[in-house]
C-alpha cells in the first residue's frame, strides 16, 4: 500500500473525521472506500463498450410504431 499526501481546509478535514467517526471508521478507511468507488467509475465506460462490441451482431427491425412498442 502506498501513502499519499492531500491538502484540504482544516475545518473540512475535521468535519470529515466526525462523519467517519460516526460511521465507526477512520478517515483513512473512508477515503480508501471513496477512492475505490471513484476509480471504479472509469471502468464503467469500458464495460459498456465491451458489451456493445459483443452485441454488434444484434439488428433491430425498427423503427417501431407506438402500438408495436406497447404490445405485450
Whether 47 is covered by a domain: the verdict is: yes
Helical axes 27-54 vs 10-22, angle rounded to 10°: 80
Listed range (20-24, 31-35, 43-47, 56-60) with the worst mean pLDDT: 43-47
pTM of the model: 0.57
Confidence of residue 61 (pLDDT cuts 50, 70, 90): confident
Domain tally for the chain? 1
- In a domain? residue 28: yes
- Proportion of the chain above pLDDT 70, given as a percent: 97
Domain residue limits at 38: 10-57
Any domain includes 27: yes
- Mean local confidence (pLDDT), 6-20: 95
Establish if 62 belongs to a structural domain.
Answer: no
SS3 category, 59 = coil
Amino acid at each position: 500500500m502506498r501513502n499519499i499526501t492531500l491538502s484540504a481546509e482544516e475545518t473540512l478535514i475535521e468535519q470529515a473525521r466526525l462523519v467517519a467517526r460516526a460511521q465507526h471508521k477512520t478517515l483513512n478507511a473512508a477515503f480508501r472506500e471513496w477512492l475505490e468507488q471513484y476509480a471504479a467509475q472509469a471502468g464503467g465506460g469500458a464495460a459498456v463498450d465491451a458489451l456493445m462490441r459483443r452485441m454488434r451482431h444484434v439488428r433491430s427491425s425498427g423503427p417501431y410504431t407506438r402500438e408495436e412498442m406497447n404490445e405485450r
